[in-house]
Amino acid sequence: MTAIKKNIAILGSTGSVGTQTLDVIRENGDLFRVFLLTAQSSADLLIEQSLEFDPAYAVICDPSKYNYVKESLAGTLVKVLSGIEAIIETVTHPEIHMVVTAMVGFAGLEPTIAAIKAGKDIALANKETLVVAGELVTGLAQKHNVKILPVDSEHSAIFQCLVGEDLNAIEKIILTASGGPFRGRTPGFLANVTREDALKHPNWVMGAKITIDSATLMNKGFEVMEAKWLFNVDADQVEVIIHPQSIIHSMVQFRDGSIKAQMGLPDMKLPIQYALSHPARIESNFKRLNFVNYPELTFEKPDPETFRNLALAFSALKTGGNMACIVNAANEIAVAGFLNDELGFLGMSEVIEQCMQQIAFVERPVLDDYLNTDKETRIFAKNLIKKMPSKGATVLT
């Protein structure tokens, strides 16, 4: 190990991945130093984290919380800033080695692009960045010779399976999915599920947005897109398979027919730690998998007719252009609407499909097109939701 600590910036430090990243850093203080922490609006947790980890900068996005955070950290050396512009600027600081992008949703795109342009390696937890603008982001990473290390457990698994392999030798990627809380259910059942039902994920503890995305399988659709961009494969080279035990985190099948899998108990800290320490593996005290406790590992086909978001994601990926950006924006608004009881579970797919049909298609988008598409789709989706019944919405009038 080198004597120089890796300086880490964590965008979205108060969320699920952010706090687990800090857990990993706390255990490996000899290797990593926290340089920048950012939060959307969780001021108290950001203050607590800043007092513990003593970063050079703490950015609170919500300007109404700025004075409170600043006053609370007045006796420290932490520089407190506010707003998305401050994040975009501080993320390029010359002392930062790696940026963990753990912000939720589309908001992660601009800071990630800024970090890549400044030559920072990216530990990518914000999958929306690749979903929305995969071509742009991976192109920039190549140009600036920046590594994108996946934090998403499936993509970390694939990445680990590919160590020492040639990307050209990939026949297909087998992306595993837990199936979420509604595995095996019918559309009739889904029409009446509540927010509380959808927030109960069987295997992973995550933020609210990604938990709903897991229940609708939108998350898996996004992960197919993420895999396409990270590993340079076509949509039809990615197979989604339901594996309820979440022990195999994903697999790669090579052109000789051999399949490699990466396994372990579901714990996000492992992929986070691997992204931070890559190419080294460092010791951990994470719980070990004992196969005897899992005598049955089972596999099923997903049902894209019940979980329409998965089919919509594949369709968007085949269409290309700004279509995935439309899906992402529509989904963010739909999920927020569902969490606010403004529409039913099936209504989320309805909103996404309507947006895919109605929002202007751009075949070769640049950054401004993505920003415009995102904005336009959100407005359209919000208006759509106002016209929808709050429960069991399947038909729009």
Determine the distance from the C-alpha atom of residue 183 to the mean position of all C-alpha atoms in its chain, rounded to a whole number: 21
Smallest separation, CB 152 to Mn ion (Å): 4
Q: Can you tell me the distance from the alpha carbon of 12 to that of 112, in angstroms, rounded to the nearest whole number? A: 12
Which is nearer to Mn ion, 70 or 201 (by Cβ)?
A: 201
Closest distance to Mn ion from the beta carbon of 334 (Å)? 19
What is the spatial distance between Cα 212 and Cα 208, in angstroms, rounded to a whole number? 6
Task: Give the residue with the Cβ less far from Mn ion, 82 or 219.
Answer: 219
Burial pattern 308-339, b for ≥16 Cβ within 10 A else e, equals bbbbbbbbbbeeebbbbbbbbbbbbbbbbbbe
Residue 154 or 342 having the CB closest to Mn ion:
154
| Cα 220 from Cα 342, distance rounded (Å) | 24
Q: CB of residue 267 vs Mn ion: minimum separation in angstroms? A: 13
CB of 2 to Mn ion, least distance (A): 30
* DSSP one-letter code for 290: -
Count Cβ neighbours within 10 Å for each residue of 184-197 and write b for 16 or more, e otherwise.
ebeeeebeebeeee
If the CB atoms of residues 148 and 393 are measured against Mn ion, the closer one turns out to be: 148
Between 121 and 152, CB nearer to Mn ion: 152
Instruction: For Mn ion, give the closer residue by CB, 16 or 49.
Output: 16
Q: Are 198 and 263 in contact (CB under 8 A)?
A: no
Instruction: Give the end-to-end CA distance of the chain in Å, rounded to a whole number.
Output: 63
What angle do helix axes 128-143 and 367-386 make, rounded to 10 degrees?
Answer: 180
Residue burial 105-119, b: 16+ Cβ < 10 Å; e: rest: bbbbbbbbbbbbebe
148-167: which residues touch Mn ion (CB under 5 A)? 152-154
* Choice between 154 and 353, CB closer to Mn ion: 154
Nearer to Mn ion, 152 or 342 (CB): 152
Rounded to a whole number of angstroms, the CA Rg of the chain reads 21
Minimum Å gap between C-beta 156 and Mn ion is 9
CB of 159 to Mn ion, least distance (A): 13
Total residues binding Mn ion (CB under 5 A): 3
Alpha-carbon distance of 115 to 117, in angstroms, equals 5
State the minimum distance, in angstroms, from the CB of residue 180 to Mn ion.
11
State the nearest-atom distance from the C-beta of 187 to Mn ion, in Å: 24
128 binds Mn ion (CB under 5 A): no
CB 239 within 8 A of CB 310: no
- The residue with its CB nearest to Mn ion is 152
Rounded to a whole number of angstroms, the minimum distance from the CB of residue 333 to Mn ion is 22
CB of 152 or CB of 353, closer to Mn ion = 152
Separation CA 18–CA 203 (nearest Å): 19
3-state secondary structure of 280: coil
Residues engaged in binding Mn ion (CB under 5 A): 152-154
